[in-house]
Each structure stands twice: as C-alpha cells, then as structure tokens.
Amino acid sequence: MASVDSIEDNTAFAKEHNAGFPILSDPGKETAQAFGVMHPMGFANRWTYYIDKEGVLVKVDKEVDVKTAGKDLARILGELEFPKK
C-alpha cells in the first residue's frame, strides 16, 4: 500500500487497523505522480496496480470501493491467476 500521508499518520493508521502489510509513505507525492494517481485537488486516487512477479503491469483497477476492497482484491488476484501462497 502507498499513501501520500506522513510516516507518522501511516504508522498510526497501521496500528489502528492492525495492518499486516507495509505502507509506503510518499508525503512529497513523487511516487503518486509517477503512477499518475494524483487528483487535481491534491489527493491520491485509490487505484490498485496489479504487477506480476516479472514486474509487468497486468491491470489497473480505478474503481476501488473501500467497502469491498479486500474482497475485490482477492477476486481479481484469482481472475488474473496470481499464485496463492
């Protein structure tokens, strides 16, 4: 996960939600700009990039719904035939 929030905000978010994954903090928005996710109003769109183990971008989901994001992620990973570990 990547966020344009500060390290402190991301750390608090991870702790509050028991996140079991790393969160990239990009407060300068360089990475978000490189991936084209910056909204003209200054916040990052919630898009999901699916990148295979060879580093090939196979899908961009621009319709992320925070209420169903986890289920949607699992479904799309299955559709794209990403291996389960």
How many other CB atoms sit within 10 Å of the CB of residue 46? 14
| Pair 28, 63 in one domain | no
Q: What is the distance between the alpha carbons of residues 6 and 12, in angstroms, rounded to a whole number?
A: 10
In a shared domain, residues 54 and 36? no
Q: Are residues 27 and 63 in the same domain?
A: no
In this structure, the answer to whether residues 4 and 30 fall within a common structural domain is: yes
> Residues 43-64: what's their mean pLDDT?
95
Regarding whether 52 and 27 lie in a shared domain, the answer is no
Average of pLDDT values for 8-32?
94
Q: How confident is the model at residue 84 (pLDDT cuts 50, 70, 90)?
A: confident
pTM: 0.78
pLDDT at 14 over 90: yes
Whether residue 51 sits in one domain with residue 21: no
> What residue numbers bound the domain in which 76 lies?
46-85
**Does the structure show a pLDDT above 80 at 85?**
no
Q: How many domains does the chain have?
A: 2
Q: What is the mean pLDDT of the chain?
A: 94
| Same domain membership, residue 70 and residue 55 | yes
Any idea which residue has 């996140």 for tokens?
19
